[in-house]
Every structure is written in C-alpha cells, then in structure tokens.
Amino acid sequence: MLSGLALWLPLLHSAPALAQAPDPLAFDAPHKHVTASAGQTNAVVSYTLTNVSTAPVIIRDVALSCGCSVANMPAKPWTLKPGEHGQVTVTTDLRGKRGSLLKTAIVYASSGTRVLTYQVDIQEPSTPEERARNQSLAKIDRQAVFRGDCAKCHAEPARGKLGKELFAVACGICHEAEHRASMVTDLRMLRKPATRDHWLQWITHGKPDTLMPAFTAKAGGPLTDTQIHSLVEFLSRK
C-alpha cells in the first residue's frame, strides 16, 4: 500500500495547478487620483474598459460609494464586443467639501465584479475671495444627505435601530468609514472627552455652515428623540 502511494505522490506534485481564467475586462487603471482647485464644484474621473476576451461582456451597472457621485456609461446594460473599449465616467459633487475624498466604484459585469477607487484632493483656498466662496458653498442644505439617493445610505438604514446598531449605520458610515474623508472628524481622536450634552447637541442639531446635519426628525433628519438618546448613551460609554 505504501509503495503504491509512493508511486503516486510524485505525479500529484508534478501536476500543473489549474490556471485561473484571465479577466476579460482590462482597465486603464484601477485607481485614479485627481486634484480639484479651491471652489471647484465637481470632480470627474474616467475609466477606460477594454474587452480583451473572445466573447461579449455585459456591463450591467456601476455602483458608487455615496450619493454625491454619479456614474455614466454608454448604455445600461452596456455590451462590449471582443476588442471593443469605452469609458465609464464618474462625477462627484464637491460643494461644501474639503481635504481628501476616497471613493469606490463597483463595476457589475457578466464576467464578475470589479472594485475601482479614486481619490480627489481639494486644494485649500489661497485668497480671501476663495475662502468666502468656500464658506458659502458649505452653507448648502446640509439636510440634503437625508433625501433622494443619499437617503438610501444615510437615512433608510437607521429606521428602527438603537444604540450600537444605530451608531454603525447613522454615524459610523461617515465617521468610521474605511475611506473616511479627511474633513470628517475621527470620533476616536477627539481633542477632549465629550460630555452627554455635547453628543446630544451635535446629534440633534448638527453644526450650521458645515456638512454636519441635524439628525432630529424635527429638522428633517431621520431620528426620533428615543433614537438620539440611545446614541448619546452609546457614545457616552464608548
């Protein structure tokens, strides 16, 4: 028995590993990096896709990491024949934003899923006029994050949740995101301990003239008083 096994082992080790099928979609780059000037309202990045296989590939959709970005492609669904290429363009609204933003674009195709990323570095205003313009942009309706497409990520998941579970979907989505924007406060790195009154004020009313919205339903936010108090309790123990 052992001698028979000894004869088979060399053959097993010498057998070639199964080769993984190559991705039929080739991208010019999986990551893009653009710089936006102070006061610029939109940033645009484009990805060039090429079908390098011998069969058609269908691009069904491109999903983005937040509602402030919009993806455009030639058609939906979009069929790329062998050898054909085309572009997916992503436009991100920069109004009221500053610092660095890191976003994802997920391409859903018949050949599988590909995750692309892009970074936008927003330059700081260098003149009093530019600073004044940025301040006016920051006064754009901060409650808009709870309406339209943005609500799918920032309002709807919070329904019926309390405490830790609510924090994950209402606060953590921005403040503890893997690709947290540099303008968003890291709650683990506060300069001084926050009190219950601090949390209650910030969650309920937010901060005017910034992107921090008011979460209370009385101001158009998604949270009830009970939900807000559950967040205050959780954050006070965190």
Answer whether residue 198 shows pLDDT above 80. yes
Q: How confident is the model at residue 190 (pLDDT cuts 50, 70, 90)?
A: confident
- Are 25-122 and 141-237 in the same CATH fold? no
Q: What are phi and psi of 110, to 5 degrees?
A: -65, -20
Higher-confidence residue of 203 and 22: namely 203
Report the length, in residues, of the chain: 238
Q: What percent of the chain has pLDDT over 70?
A: 82
Rounded CA-CA distance 145/152 in Å is: 9
By three-state DSSP, how is residue 180 classified? Answer: coil
**Mean pLDDT, residues 60-88 taken together:** 93
Architecture of 25-122 per CATH? Sandwich (2.60)
**Mean pLDDT, residues 185-214 taken together:** 84
**Does the pTM of the predicted model rise above 0.85?**
no
Q: How confident is the model at residue 144 (pLDDT cuts 50, 70, 90)?
A: confident
Task: Identify the CATH homologous superfamily for domain 141-237.
Answer: Cytochrome c-like domain (1.10.760.10)
**Mean pLDDT, residues 84-102 taken together:** 89
How high is the pLDDT of residue 6? 47
Q: Which pLDDT tens digit goes with each residue over 104-128? A: 999 999 999 999 999 999 888 766 7
Rounded CA-CA distance 99/104 in Å is: 17
Biggest CA-to-CA distance, the chain: 87
How high is the pLDDT of residue 132? 65
Q: How confident is the model at residue 80 (pLDDT cuts 50, 70, 90)?
A: very high
In contact, 89 and 3? CB cutoff 8 Å: no
Domain boundaries of the chain, sorted by first residue: 25-122, 141-237
